[in-house]
Structure 1
Amino acid sequence: MGNLSERFSKLRESSDWLAAGLFFLLSLICLLTSISSAVALLLGIILAVSLGNPCIKLAQRVIGLLLKFSVVGLGFGMSVQQAIDASQNGFLLTVSSIVFTLILGALTASRMGLTRHAGQLISSGTAICGGSAIAAVAPVIKAGPRDISVALGVVFILNSVALFVFPPIGHWLSMTQEQFGLWSAIAIHDTSSVVGASASYGAEALAIATTVKLGRALWIIPLSLLMAVISGGSVRKITIPWFIGLFILAMLANSFVPGVEMFNTEIVEWSKRGLVLTLFLIGSTMTRELLKSVGIMPMVYGIFLWVAIASSSLTFIMYG
């Protein structure tokens, strides 16, 4: 019996080494080659589900920072006028979609058997910007680890699905780049998949989606204040998305500082590579344990809110 246990232990160790080796090899491939965002995400998911990811804690630490720096780098490929135009076109839809999603979420969460905190976190992530909104709101409402993990699981799974589903739908409906960029920014949860989906659609879609999505992310602050009042939480725990300020500075530099054009193309290209790597890392955290931990009703609730915001915003953009 002891020998059998020892053999299983060694087999497990060799499997972990193989998974770790593949993790770092695929990370380099995603960073240094022209793999698409969807392929990178799929590679991460396949690795996590088939072999597991012994480097999952490292991936989780890197994802947030790499995403922020990559988004800032994209600012060097956009002009201030582009940002103003995109913000004007998307402001009303942004505000109305956030309010609609939060109200719909509040009315339906308890009826679907969700705890109050789980409902608040999933609706916040759907309304604004996925995992970032959940991370910002969770300490304000004093959510427990279970509710946080469930909410993150729901949002990450649906966020991954969006990266594969949205571009084909856009092409099927013959959406313009402006329409698709706006729709992606409103209806996809996380900034990483918004950028990934819109980048595959075109440069104009990418510029519009990124600008509108980052403007949307600023609503984390008033949402956190609202949740603090409702839940009796502490406003001191509210976090400000500082990287959006750096993104604006990058756009200003690209628009008005002489000489930036000498290196802005390379910065944007490496930023896109960084976002592809980010999506691979996100995929590598989608382990079987995470999928099992979500539960049926939280997933149904998340899908319900997602379909509601995606279909209503699509109707407004196409026919409004």
Structure 2
Amino acid sequence: MQKVRQILPGLIVSLVIAIISQFVAKVVPTLGAATIAILIGILAGNTVLKQPSLEAGTKFSESKLLEYSVMLLGATMTIQTIGKIGIWGVGFILLQMSITIVGALWLGQKLGFGESKRLLMAGGNAVCGSSAIASIAPVIEADDDDKGMIITLVNLMGTVLMLTLPWLGIGLFGGNTILKGALIGGTLQSVGQVVAAASMVNQATVQFATIFKIMRIMMLVVVVLIFGRLHQRHLEAEVAEEAQISGNGSGHWLPWYVAGFLILCAINSLVSLPAIIGTAAHVTSSWFEIIALAAIGLRLNLANFLKAGKKLALYGLGVGTLQVTSALILISILLNR
């Protein structure tokens, strides 16, 4: 009970911000509740809500609720979904993700960022934003500051792309909904951003963009495993004796929530869960993510974020430019046939 009492204040504040964000998102739908939540959290957490009594609850919301959100995503998709975009669509997604990951790692190294920020940035942009970052952070032993900074950067960058990609797609691909869906679904970070951006075009684009996005999400488990292995090799190269005593086995074990994601996806693929379960999982997952993002905003030290502002902005701009450019090239080669 003592632990619950410690968690409640920060959890309630995060929930209130999430509720406010949902209402604001109805007025400004182009931003989306997730982005609004993290922005309100940053503003409040660096001004009126800096009380130490909130720390336990915001930490719980940031870590545990994002983990539950990732797991529940598995009940909203099936392996059969891949068939709807065809072999060339699958090839497009795999190549686009690979280019994003390699490019983000390379650019981050050139800008002098550590392994943790580079891997979080690569995974967050290649897969599914906050959910991917939450899945990757434990296996690479990322600290809360790195996670908060990269989640904020990825969400802000995603918001800019969300407002520009629909018009770019219309200008370049006209009435071809598959190609517009590929550009939006293959590039934007979060599901909410994908749906919001595609909705600016038409409903058919929403359907195709969602399919391309789901394909990326289904690769989450593979990315987590690969990044865990990369981190383990990094440890072995730098501190061989410490890697021998790996207390948490971060490079060898799949986090429980990623395993849960995979199991739920497999069950839904085999027996097709009732629609009400998928809907409930989607709504709950979305709420957990928004509450967690509010908590991340509350916990983000804006002074530290702004201190690294120029380099972070350049990193975000570089990765975003790479994603859009590679998507356009791959679409013209693989899909515009």
Among 38, 47, 51, which residue is 2:40 paired with?
Answer: 47
Q: Distance in 2 between matches of 1:165 and 1:107?
A: 25
1:269-284 alignment, distance < 5 Å: 269-270=279-280, 273-274=283-284, 277=287, 280-281=290-291, 284=294
Question: How far 1:305 moved relative to its partner?
Answer: 1.4
* Contact 2:117-2:147 within 8 A present in 1 as well: yes
Question: How far 1:308 moved relative to its partner?
Answer: 0.1
Q: What amino acid sits opposite 2:84 in the alignment? A: D
Question: How far 1:287 moved relative to its partner?
Answer: 4.7
Question: How far 1:300 moved relative to its partner?
Answer: 1.5
1:157-306 alignment, distance < 5 Å: 157-173=156-172, 174=174, 176-191=176-191, 193-194=193-194, 197-198=197-198, 202=203, 204-205=207-208, 207-220=210-223, 221-232=225-236, 234=249, 235-239=251-255, 240-254=258-272, 260=274, 264=275, 266-267=276-277, 269-270=279-280, 273-274=283-284, 277=287, 280-281=290-291, 284=294, 285-287=296-298, 289-294=300-305, 295-296=308-309, 297-306=311-320
Among 325, 328, 335, which residue is 1:311 paired with?
Answer: 325
Choose 1 or 2 for highest CA Rg. Answer: 1
> Tell me, what secondary structure is at the counterpart of 1:218?
helix
* Contact 2:137-2:147 within 8 A present in 1 as well: yes
Aligned to 1:156: 155
Question: How far 1:315 moved relative to its partner?
Answer: 2.9
RMSD: 4.1
Q: Distance in 2 between matches of 1:313 and 1:45?
A: 27
Q: Distance in 2 between matches of 1:67 and 1:302?
A: 24
* Contact 1:59-1:282 within 8 A present in 2 as well: yes
Q: Distance in 1 between matches of 2:145 and 2:119?
A: 13
Post-superposition CA distance 1:161-187 (Å, at most 9, x none): 444444444444436443344333432
1:133-152 alignment, distance < 5 Å: 133-152=132-151
* Contact 2:100-2:323 within 8 A present in 1 as well: yes
List alignment gaps of at least 5 residues for structure 2.
1-9, 237-242, 244-248
Aligned residue pair count: 292
TM-score, structure 2 length as denominator?
A: 0.66
Q: Distance in 1 between matches of 2:170 and 2:277?
A: 29
Question: How far 1:65 moved relative to its partner?
Answer: 1.7
Question: How far 1:212 moved relative to its partner?
Answer: 1.0
* Contact 1:155-1:302 within 8 A present in 2 as well: yes
Identity of aligned residues (%): 15
Question: How far 1:19 moved relative to its partner?
Answer: 6.4
Aligned to 1:74: 76
147-156 or 273-282, which moves further after superposition?
A: 273-282
Q: What amino acid sits opposite 1:293 in the alignment? A: N
Q: Distance in 2 between matches of 1:103 and 1:206?
A: 23
Q: Distance in 1 between matches of 2:123 and 2:15?
A: 36
TM-score, structure 1 length as denominator?
A: 0.69
List alignment gaps of at least 5 residues for structure 1.
1-15
